[in-house]
Structure 1
Amino acid sequence: MNSRTLRIAVLALAGFGVFAIARLGYNLYGYSPAQALLSSVEGSATAGLSKESPLSFGPQGFYSRSSVIYVTAPKKEFGEALSASLQSLKGSGARLLHQKERNTEGTRFSVVQAELPEKSAEELLQRWKSQYEVLQFEENRSDRNTEYASLDARLESLQQTRTRITISPEQFKLSASSELGEEYAKLQTKKREFENARIVPPQQSLTAVFIARPGFGFAGLTDMILDALWWSIALFGALSILGLFAYLVLRLFQGGKDLLSWIGARLDPQDNG
């Protein structure tokens, strides 16, 4: 290996190291423990949970309301915090729908989904926000008035259809009455749900994800180092490909220039003479 090649190799290695260190510094500077915790559990925490929310009635009509909150507590206090939160849920008149506890990528978390009175849910959420660090909170409210209106219209239409069927031929009457009867019964059941919502306190769905906060450890540092190395490899790979492409284009132009010179020399009458 000659000295020129050695210098190029040393410079390339030094550049690789400088970029890797710079990327690692950027990772450390931009590191967010809260975001790292949220990213590690967000996908798996709510997988398989029900997306439906209880039907409620208020001054603006029928609606559904749901909330999702991610909170974190120190790892040593996680068990106590989770137990206290479950007791608070039960004391608020909640109906537990789902509960699971897992350990994903070294992060322990527990998920609870429940239905409870809207007022109790608001008080509970405010308490959790003051007691724990909130990583993410989302609340959705969907209007159900249009659904109720279309349900009422469909029931009226079915009733009129059933009246017309009574004067139809007997064979057609039996099959049509059976199909309409099933649909009518389902819609009546759905309408009773809307009517019941008028007389009970507004309810809402609440999904709470409790995460144990482990702090910054060896695993987090390892991930940052690997990220810095992969970024460096990707950068130098891209630069190498661009350099090779530029070299090939240069050689192509040089070859074309030499070819044109050769053709010109062959066609020059003075040279041929």
Structure 2
Amino acid sequence: MSVICGITIAGLSGPIIFMLAIGTLELSQPGYNPFVTTISGLVWGPHGRVQTAIFIVFGSLVEVFIINLYYAFATRKVYLKLGVLMFLCIGIGFFVVAIFRADPPGLPRTASGAIHSFAVGVISALFPFACLFLSRSFWKDICWKGVSVYSIITALMAFGLGILGSVTGFREMWAGLYQRIYLLNAFVWIEVVSLRLLYSCVFGSGTSKNYLSAIRRPPGIFRACPNRAVRDPSDRSSRIPHGAGNGEHPGASDSWRTHRRPCLDRQ
């Protein structure tokens, strides 16, 4: 279990590492204006290779985060798979952004800059849809309903920022500020989901209670609810009374039927 918690912490650390490293680069680059210039512009500073490494590290941690989330759920239905697939593409997108640098300010457009801009657009477009698909899977677990609602709010905020940037021209005039607000919205969502995963890993609540078993064996149609206590079969006082279920002890039969009833796997 400590290994799983370590993987969860690795996913949790991604946004923190990104913000601290980028903030340090901004302070070390003279004349850099974070409100006007995007993060990609740091690549042309004295520590441009560090910025490239940050994108690669963050993309790797995004992949760790989403794979960890995928295996945290016992069943993997279509909504979860679509959301995970989109996040995998987002992680790959950061690799592309790192490899193909943005164009220097004031110079003609290049193939590298075009690929860079396209990858940034794909990342921005996929994120809100990924949140919506994952929120559908979160909603099926009572312990994750709050995260499901927050995922929908995060997606709506991302859509709203996209519309605001396109209609008002805010994205062009204040490109750096716009990009940082969008990233902050995404980073907070990753932190909230990672903290919920860490709580499930440590305290064994919700879908992630049987974390290791979800990885080791394929999901079945029925499985005991993880939030329900299971009586010890070796305890004689907890065994089903003789005749329970055939009408001789209806009260005991009803009690055991309620306690032992399996529940459908969640999406």
* TM-score in same-fold range (> 0.5): no
**Structure possessing the higher radius of gyration over alpha carbons:** 1
**Structure having the larger proportion of residues in helix:** 2
Q: Normalising TM by the smaller chain, what interval?
A: under 0.3
Task: Give the structure, 1 or 2, with the largest relative contact order (CA under 8 Å, sep 6 or more).
Answer: 1
**TM-score in terms of structure 1 length:** 0.22
